[in-house]
Structure 1
Amino acid sequence: MPQLDTSTWPIIILSMILTLFIMLQLKTLKLVFPLNPAPKNMTTQKYNNPWEMKWTKIYSPLSLPLQS
């Protein structure tokens, strides 16, 4: 049974890692990031709802008296 020649494995693994690193660097070079990101001005608008002016009481089903 012939033996597997593993003498070239370190060279192949190192060249693969180097190739992946170079490809990753080339991919990230194409990305464009904003230089100075400015915070957005978040202004909330107040809407007048008719039910906000009234006092309402909400009954949950568990707080109602038992009916027999």
Structure 2
Amino acid sequence: MPQLDTSTWFTTVLASTVTLFTLIQLKLSLHNFPSNPSSEQVTYPKLINPWETKWTKIYSPLSLPLP
């Protein structure tokens, strides 16, 4: 029964690791990442709501008079 030749496994694993690392680096280098996302100030327009100037009383069901 012949023995399994494992002498080339180290070279194969090393070459595969280097190839995968290179491919991942190339894939990541194609993305455009923002330099500093916190430097931009976002301004939101002020929404005008009809209830903004009115006072509204909220009634709790427990505080209503009993019928």
If the TM-score is normalised by the length of the shorter chain, which range does it land in? Answer: 0.5 to 0.7
CA distance 1:17–1:42, change in 2 (3 Å):
same
Q: TM-score, normalised by structure 1?
A: 0.57
Q: What is the number of residues matched between the two proteins?
A: 67
Identity fraction in percent? 51
Give unpaired runs (5+ residues) of structure 1: none
Give the TM-score of the pair, scaled to structure 2: 0.58
1:21 aligns with 21
Aligned position for 1:7: 7
User: Quick check: 5-14 or 31-40, which moved more?
Assistant: 31-40
**RMSD of aligned Cα (Å):** 3.3
